[in-house]
Structure 1
Amino acid sequence: MARAVALATAVVSLLLAAFARPSVRSSVREVPITAAGPAPAVEQFAAVLGQRLPDGFGITEVADTAAAAERLIRDREVYGAIDLGSGAPRVITASGASVAVAQTLDGVAAGLGQAPGPGAGPAVRDHVPLPAGDPRGAGLAAGALPLVMGGLLAALGLTRLVRCGARRVAGAVAFAVTGGLATVAVPRFWLGSLDGSAWTDGGAIALTLVATSLRVLGLESLLGPVGFGLGAAVMMLVGNPLSGTAIAPGMPPGWSGALGHLLPLGSGGRLPRSTAFFDGHGASRPAAVLAGRLTLGVAVALVGGLRARARARPVDEGTAAVAVAVDGPAVPAAA
């Protein structure tokens, strides 16, 4: 009993650390933004921002008007902009990319409004807003865990019911298609969290589901139940808390942000934002990560299936030989 209690205590502590640390320690770290306006004004703004938020933002300077900065936002190259070329500074946010970064830029705007200068302070404009039905993006943020659980449940069902590796892969793909289309209906038509094409958003979710389930299926086919447990633990303890679905890639502490966005759920959280709010801009990198995970999962699942069949064949042949030796060869019945 003491061992069970100690193990349960360790698991609870590990879960708390895995889920709480990224949220508690997250802050802006080299989040890319742009500043438009004359070079002296941009340099002065960068110096002031560097004092208030050291290493918080990576500033790209554009000498053109705010239109150039807005184009960078739409292309998902930056998360916001400061327009310094029209008198009083103007802050341009994109809550569709990250609510957390948009709120931080709102704070920057408030700080600029307190600085001496002409005008009543900077205006704040959301260039890529979230839908009116979900202005805080809560539906997208809460969708990470269901995607993990859906992929794990699909992998569990396929490992229990299907032995052939190729049929497992086909089953995972079929589940991803139906699950993606069914899942996108909730945030789009009920919660109002997505406003892009239902087919495109559903495809993005389906790619996440199939990459998740095939990763676990591949590990299970090679390592058995241990592989399934390992895959589930990585998804739950690493992939989910480090996915950063509610924040920006540079906000989780240390190396965890980069790692999280190389995992299926991290890329899966970024991809629907690109398809729903940015006309597909910025979708290539997360789609490539998911496609790579998908390809690797298919290969490992097929190889594991072939190895399992090769191990089972000698056993089956040996069983048949024993049966013949004991019962004798089969004799056709007399007519």
Structure 2
Amino acid sequence: MAPTATRSPWPRIGAIVLLLTALLSVIMIAFAWPATRSSVHDIPIAVAGPPAATAQVTQQLSAKRPGAFDITVVDGTAAAERLILDREVYGAIDLSSGHPQLIIASAASPAIATALQQVAQALGGTEAAVPVRDLVPLPTDDPRGAGLAAGALPLVLGGIVAAGLLTSLVAGAARRLAGAAAFAVTGALALTAILQFWLGSVEGSYWLNAGAVALGIAATALTILGLESLLGAAGLGLGAATMMLVGNPLSGLASAPEMLPSGWGTVGQYLPPGAAGSLLRSTAFFDGHAAAPHVWVLLGWVALGLALAGLAAVRTTRRPAEGERADDKIPVAAAA
């Protein structure tokens, strides 16, 4: 008679069910909470024109939408356009000509561009509609920016999958790191080609865009590999969970960092998914303006991953050395 298979105890099954429920709840919170709590707050905009007119509009905005905007007052249209192109503001209400007009940059954030149009029309009241000029529009092949927003997930998954496969299939920390770096380049070239040449979701220099994507993939993959080399499977899980459940929802690529729940958008910009997404917007639509902070964030994560891997290598080499010293202390008679 064949032996009866061992059955798992019911308490263990109950614990697994509770763990899965908790995990599903965390995933739901991570992705749904930022989306459902998104709102317009502290959005940087400019108001351009004569002092009396700008003061009146600024007062109206503060009264009707308190806390919604971080307003910079400038004296003319050219100054407002410069702030938009430098990515210091998302748009401007221009009063220079005596008749208000709205200047937006939908490529910076379609969601904020829509919100600004609603605010401008409300300021116009029952008068003629406020004219809108899109200074940096999205590509005609993707006027809603759907491709770039959807590209956030493959960018994060690329780094996570790379780290997981390299850990499973490649022996040697140095070879894993080299494989991750190589994949960051080839994966970025492929992903950017799809976004730019097939979907038409990004513009600008293909090579700069690919560099931004490569830096994002490398930051994710190398950080996870560094954690895995130091902590083992727990490090792999910690890194993947951080990038997927925290970094991706807080990246702001689908809307804007300022539209996420207060403070969390800033946190997201210090994680690889958010920094990479903002860097890609800068290279694709704004000639690289405001790219430097995001580059430094990503380089910092790359450096962290390499440092963790180096620490793990030092720890590994130190343990055999300590073992050899212990063996040297064994008396000859005892050894015999």
For normalisation by structure 1, the TM-score amounts to: 0.90
Other-structure match for 1:179:
187
Q: Supply the distance in 2 between the matched residues of 1:179 and 1:81 (Cα, whole angstroms).
A: 37
The offset of 1:112, in angstroms, is 2.3
The offset of 1:316, in angstroms, is 9.9
Q: Supply the distance in 2 between the matched residues of 1:224 and 1:33 (Cα, whole angstroms).
A: 46
- Equivalent pairs counted in the alignment come to 315
Q: Supply the distance in 2 between the matched residues of 1:138 and 1:316 (Cα, whole angstroms).
A: 59
The offset of 1:167, in angstroms, is 2.2
Where 2:19 maps in the other structure, the secondary structure is helix
Q: Supply the distance in 2 between the matched residues of 1:53 and 1:312 (Cα, whole angstroms).
A: 65
1:228 aligned to 2:239?
no
Superposition pairs of residues 254-273 of structure 1, within 5 angstroms: 254-273=262-281
Other-structure match for 2:221:
213
Q: Supply the distance in 1 between the matched residues of 2:314 and 2:167 (Cα, whole angstroms).
A: 15
- Match for residue 86 of structure 2 among 56, 75, 83: 75
8 A contact 1:31–1:79 mirrored in 2: yes
Q: Supply the distance in 1 between the matched residues of 2:315 and 2:171 (Cα, whole angstroms).
A: 12
- Name the aligned partner's letter for residue 70 of structure 1: E
For normalisation by structure 2, the TM-score amounts to: 0.90
1:156 aligned to 2:164?
yes
1:302 aligned to 2:313?
no
1:58 aligned to 2:70?
yes
Q: Supply the distance in 2 between the matched residues of 1:146 and 1:58 (Cα, whole angstroms).
A: 33
Other-structure match for 1:326:
none
Deviations 1:191-211 (A, max 9, x none): 110111111101100000000
Other-structure match for 2:291:
283
Q: Supply the distance in 2 between the matched residues of 1:316 and 1:174 (Cα, whole angstroms).
A: 37
1:15 aligned to 2:23?
no
Q: Supply the distance in 2 between the matched residues of 1:28 and 1:313 (Cα, whole angstroms).
A: 58
- Match for residue 97 of structure 1 among 93, 104, 108: 108
Where 1:250 maps in the other structure, the secondary structure is helix
1:28 aligned to 2:40?
yes
Other-structure match for 2:246:
238
The offset of 1:162, in angstroms, is 3.0
8 A contact 1:165–1:304 mirrored in 2: no
Where 2:230 maps in the other structure, the secondary structure is helix
Where 2:66 maps in the other structure, the secondary structure is coil
Q: Supply the distance in 2 between the matched residues of 1:203 and 1:126 (Cα, whole angstroms).
A: 27
8 A contact 1:166–1:302 mirrored in 2: no
- Name the aligned partner's letter for residue 72 of structure 1: L
The offset of 1:315, in angstroms, is 7.4
Other-structure match for 2:56:
44
The offset of 1:308, in angstroms, is 2.8
The offset of 1:305, in angstroms, is 2.7
8 A contact 2:250–2:257 mirrored in 1: no
Q: Supply the distance in 2 between the matched residues of 1:299 and 1:161 (Cα, whole angstroms).
A: 22
Q: Supply the distance in 2 between the matched residues of 1:160 and 1:309 (Cα, whole angstroms).
A: 22
Q: Root-mean-square deviation (CA), in Å? A: 1.8
Percent same amino acid at aligned positions?
55
Gaps of 5+ in 2: 1-12, 328-336
The offset of 1:313, in angstroms, is 6.6
Other-structure match for 1:332:
none
Other-structure match for 2:212:
204
Q: Supply the distance in 1 between the matched residues of 2:33 and 2:231 (Cα, whole angstroms).
A: 30
The offset of 1:115, in angstroms, is 5.1
The offset of 1:147, in angstroms, is 1.1
After superposing on structure 2, the runs of 4+ consecutive aligned residues of structure 1 that deviate more than 6 Å are: 313-319
Other-structure match for 2:125:
114
Gaps of 5+ in 1: 320-335
